[in-house]
Amino acid sequence: MRHILSSRRVARPVVSSRRVRRNLLLLAVLAAFAGGVHAACPSTSPTVTTPVCDGSADDTSALQSMIYAAKFNGAPAIIPATPNGCRVTAPLEVCSDTAVIQRGLLRAKSTWSASSGAFGMYTIADGATDVRIEGSGIVDGSNVSAISGITAGGATLGDYPSSTPNAQRVTIQGMSLKNMGRWPIRIDGTDDLRIDGVTAKDSYYGIEIGHDTKNAALVNLRVSGIEGDCVRLYRGVTESTVSNSLMSDCGALGISVFGDRPAGYAVAHANQNLTIDGNIVRESLVGIQVNSTSGTAVATGVNISANQAHHNHTYGIGVMPCDNCQITSNMTHHNGNAEAPYQPGILVANSRQVKVAANTIYNEGQGTTTGLGIVVLETAPGLPAGARVNITGNLIYDDQSPKTMVGAMGGTLAAPIVSTGNSFSTGLLDYFGYATGSVQRNYLTP
Amino acid sequence: MKFLSLILLLGLAPIAAGAAPADEPALPNAAKAAALKSACPNPAPVCDGVTDDTCELQVLLDHGNPEMTVLEIPATPNGCRISNSLYVRSNTHVIQNGLLKLSGYTWPSPSTQVGMYTLLDGTHDIVIEGTGTLDGGHPVYSTLASGCCMGGIVSGGPGIAEPGVEVNDVTIRGLTIRRIPQWPLELDGVHNLLVDGVTAHDSVNSAAIGHQSEDVIVNNLRAYRIADICFSFYRGVENAVISNSIVNQCNGGGISVFSDWPACVGGPLFSKNVVINNNIAYGQSAQEGDTTTGVGGLDVIGLGLDGETNEATSFTFNLAHNHISQGIGMTPGRHGLIAGNMTSDQGQNNYAAGVNLLGAKGVLVSGNSTFDEGEGTTTGLGLHVGTFPASPAIPLPICGSSVPALPAVTTERVSILDNYYYDSAPTPSMLYALISSGAVPVVVAGNTYAPMIGIADAITYGTGSHNADNDNQP
């Protein structure tokens, strides 16, 4: 039981972060009712003015004219590379059929318009289609508290039923986003999204896609130095992947699949059919987590495979809960520490139909003698018959001297579990409370 | 000489002298035209394939913007030509639209290691991308370059791999790098690196990320006809991923986490936390008439005096086939995962194995399919496990250095679970599904064996081993 309590204790910053975010959402709603900040996308090409981009002048108006005109020109708007970069004081709206190429530096001025609310330095217009924002330049939020990098989702960062996506066919590729007071990227309600090769760092939140975004591929991301979650799939994200990416130094979670029902939203939207594959997540509060708040829609169909999660403050990979999910072919090690004892490599909590197979887990619980391999638990009243948690073919061991791990596998309440074909090193305990009908057939490694 | 005096006066001596300049702030654009006029023969790169464009391109790289320099290598009929390295400073974006070729380069003595693009020590925020080509001009990849050498894109100081060198936030995307007399890539000391969509071929040495590089993503790489390992995480790389890549005809191996004892450098550095996921490594050429076959598929190699090795390597969901020797190997390695892979048709060497574990400690082999190994023989093996043998000291020809005598490494905590071994070839080639060299302490469970030429399981089980719940398939 101790590991449950410790897990809750270290999870508080995450909860706190959510509260902060709900407050931000509320502020965003209020800003929207106050009239917002956006002009509508023009129906004819505006007169284009040339930005100064000397690092001092406010280039907002000129850059906006270039971006609006891009649709009508049929050519991308190029944010130029200049000696000292361009400066903006308000969001740049990106409309349908527009490509922006970020060649140089785009930095927010400290006089950023507070009324810009939750909008990003690039704000993809509501309902926009076929938008590309790419390049090898840098988008710098100057640590202004209200600023995000690239957003889509309208004034409220929305609540979009999946049948009516906000934006469609959006590509964000290649740039670096840093020093954001909020999200480097926050995309809501978007169908057909690709975020590729982006670096996000030194910001309050991380890269977040949410609110019924679907068909999203997040790949080749480098995310670090984030106070919240480095990458988050939030509320109703479906048919999406996070792959080939590196997350480190995340104050909350490395990769988070999270569902809740914020105040003011009528229904909870489940995350489902997601793949988290081939990533390395380290030195964060938690490595990879699928979670939802009590009473909201539970995530389903999440495949977590071929990742490495190591040196995280608490556990490596956790689903709590996740139904019809699998955790396969991952490697976890060196998760948990003296401040967070009884942490496992893999945690399955309150979940149904979960397969945990072919993972290598070793040397967990650094600085303690309480490290754990795989933990399955149910808060109450116990994992029911039919829950079908299947733990097969994993290798769990501690080859250190002195050892830091106490248990290979465990849970606090009697559970109907199939635990077969796992091997774990001598001295580690299997302390599952195997309920009637369980199958247990494991091996000690010599 | 007059030209040299001019460039010395302008502080551009490193261009001509071949020594790397420091990463100092670049001059503003306003100085660009004047610098070109003063320092170089032409006011702009000619890019006719004959004229040496080194000076002009270097000046354009140097005289850019403090916040971001953009250099476009133009697409011209015969390409641009350089005779020395182009040195890249911080906040630089190179767009390689056309061909950049090397000729007339003289290797300096004492040697410094450079590339056609050399990322200067201490630089950051560098992007080199495009659909163009870097051509090193080396005619035959399997023949070492005379006088040696020039790489494609390199970092790591004059000697490469120098301690303390650090380059941050680098992206290399989309280029083709070919006919390089040394490495297509040799990126050392790079933190936060993305290599995406690069093709490297017909080159002498590996495309390598090495020497204290960390936080590395390699994706969509195509590497072939390399006289060394096609791609290597080489000595001391941490937190690195290679995925969705295809390597073939690699004379030293396909994808390797590799550590050695290089001449003149000293002891090995070991890598850790590496993911090798969803790649294809194959030996034989895809081109008609090319009979070259690569040696090995995917492996972890390297050993220190006290038995230290590379750690925490995951091989997941890869294909490795048609190599001379093994498909996937840890020889030796510590903390490993070999899961969900498919190996087949390794052969030519007698007793070639789909998976080869020598001196492996803490390794799970699970959920793999291994079939038709030993092509052209009757000695194919599914999985081989055993002790990594001790080796004697080996003198190296330069610097008075040597690879010291290294200890034997025993196998520990190897679990072989839920794999499928079969031979479906018209003429069977697999002798055993599982075999060991000597007694090994292993767990073998849940595997399925179809009929082999010999017995399916030829492991000699050491004390404490388990051999249970395996099945023969009719």
- According to the model, what pLDDT value does residue A411 have? 79
Chain A contact for B340 (CB, 8 A cutoff): yes
Q: How sure is the predictor about B23, in pLDDT bands with cuts at 50, 70 and 90?
A: low
Higher pLDDT, B334 or B142: B334
Cβ contacts of B259 within 8 Å, gap of 6 or more: B234, B235, B236, B268, B269, B270, B271, B301, B302, B303, B309, B310
Chain B contact for A176 (CB, 8 A cutoff): yes
Dihedral angle of Cα B112, B117, B120, B126, to the nearest 10 degrees: -160
- According to the model, what pLDDT value does residue B39 have? 84
Chain B partners within 8 Å of A333 (Cβ)? 312, 335
Chain B partners within 8 Å of A400 (Cβ)? none
- According to the model, what pLDDT value does residue A297 have? 86
Chain B contact for A423 (CB, 8 A cutoff): yes
- B434: tokens are 């599982």
Place of tokens 């002798």: B431
pLDDT tens string A16-28: 343 334 333 333 3
Single-letter amino acid code for the residue at B156 = G
From the list B70, B241, B273, the residue facing A278 with the nearest CB is B241
What is the DSSP secondary structure assignment for residue B391, as one 8-state letter? B
- According to the model, what pLDDT value does residue B13 have? 28
Nearest residue to B84 (alpha-carbon basis) of B24, B160, B167, B17: B17
Q: What is the pLDDT along chain A (446 residues), one digit of tens a residue?
A: 233 223 322 232 333 343 334 333 333 333 332 333 345 899 999 999 999 999 999 999 999 999 999 999 989 999 999 888 999 999 999 999 999 999 999 999 998 886 655 689 999 998 899 999 999 999 999 999 889 999 998 655 565 665 566 899 999 999 999 999 999 999 999 999 999 999 999 999 999 999 889 999 999 999 999 999 999 999 999 999 999 999 999 999 999 999 988 777 777 789 999 999 999 999 999 999 999 887 788 999 999 999 999 999 999 999 999 999 999 999 999 999 999 999 999 999 988 899 999 999 999 999 999 999 999 887 765 556 557 889 999 999 999 999 999 999 987 767 778 899 999 988 888 888 777 778 889 999 88
The residue count for chain A: 446
**Which of B169, B192, B194, B237 best tests the A interface by mutation, with the highest count of A CBs <10 A?**
B194
- According to the model, what pLDDT value does residue B245 have? 98
**What is the C-alpha to C-alpha distance for residues A189 and A215, in angstroms, rounded to an integer?**
11
- According to the model, what pLDDT value does residue A17 have? 41
**HEC states along chain A?**
CHHHHHHHHHCHHHHHHHHHHHHHHHHHHHHHHCCCCCCCCCCCCCCCCCCCCCCCCCCHHHHHHHHHHHHHHCCCEEECCCCCCEEECCCEEECCCEEEEECCEEEECCCCCHHHCCCEEEEECCCCEEEEEEECCEEECCCCCCCEEEEECCCCCCCCCCCCCCEEEEEEECCEEECCCCCCEEEECEEEEEEECCEEEEECCCEEEECCCEEEEEECCEEEEECCCCEEEECCCEEEEEECCEEEEECCEEEEEEECCCCCCCCCCCCEEEEEECCEEECCCEEEEEEECCCCCCEEEEEEECCEEECCCCCCEEEECEEEEEEECCEEECCCECCECCCEEEEEECCEEEEEECCEEECCCCCCCCEEEEEEECCCCCCCCCCCEEEECCEEECCCCCCCEEEEEECCCCECEEEEEEEEECCCEEECCECCCCEEEEEEEC
- B82: tokens are 């350089």
**What is the C-alpha to C-alpha distance for residues B384 and B458, in angstroms, rounded to an integer?**
9
The alpha carbon of residue B298 is apart from the nearest alpha carbon of chain A, in Å, by 16
- Portion 89-118 of A in contact with B at CB < 8 A: 103-105
Contact B250, B281 (CB under 8 A): yes
**What is the C-alpha to C-alpha distance for residues A76 and B276, in angstroms, rounded to an integer?**
37
A324 to each of A114, A272, A300, A332, A351, how far by Cα in Å?
44, 10, 6, 21, 8
- According to the model, what pLDDT value does residue B104 have? 85
Chain A partners within 8 Å of B367 (Cβ)? 328-329, 357-358, 393
**What is the C-alpha to C-alpha distance for residues A312 and B197, in angstroms, rounded to an integer?**
31
pLDDT at B238 over 50: yes
**What is the C-alpha to C-alpha distance for residues A5 and A56, in angstroms, rounded to an integer?**
52
Chain B contact for A81 (CB, 8 A cutoff): yes
Chain A contact for B72 (CB, 8 A cutoff): no
Chain B partners within 8 Å of A440 (Cβ)? none
Higher pLDDT, B172 or B263: B172
Higher pLDDT, A273 or B166: A273
Closest chain A residue by Cα to residue B368: A358
Give the angle subtended at the CA of A173 by the CAs of A170 and A177, to the nearest 5°.
110
Helix crossing, A2-10 with A12-33: angle to 10°?
40
Q: How sure is the predictor about B371, in pLDDT bands with cuts at 50, 70 and 90?
A: very high
Are A446 and B464 a contacting pair at CB < 8 A? yes
Contact B322, B297 (CB under 8 A): no
pLDDT tens string B79-96: 999 999 999 999 999 999
- According to the model, what pLDDT value does residue A159 have? 57
Chain B contact for A307 (CB, 8 A cutoff): yes
Nearest residue to B22 (alpha-carbon basis) of B159, B163, B158: B158
Chain B partners within 8 Å of A307 (Cβ)? 275
Name the average pLDDT for chain B: 88
pLDDT tens string B120-158: 999 999 999 999 999 999 988 888 766 567 899 999 876
The alpha carbon of residue B366 is apart from the nearest alpha carbon of chain A, in Å, by 6
Q: How sure is the predictor about B33, in pLDDT bands with cuts at 50, 70 and 90?
A: low
Contact B61, B90 (CB under 8 A): no
Give the angle subtended at the CA of B395 by the CAs of B394 and B400, to the nearest 5°.
150
Radius of gyration of chain B (CA): 24
Cβ contacts of B195 within 8 Å, gap of 6 or more: B171, B172, B173, B185, B187, B209, B216, B217, B218, B219, B221
Chain B partners within 8 Å of A426 (Cβ)? 464
The residue count for chain B: 474
Higher pLDDT, B347 or B414: B414
Question: What ipTM goes with this model?
Answer: 0.90
pLDDT at B303 over 60: yes
Chain B contact for A20 (CB, 8 A cutoff): no
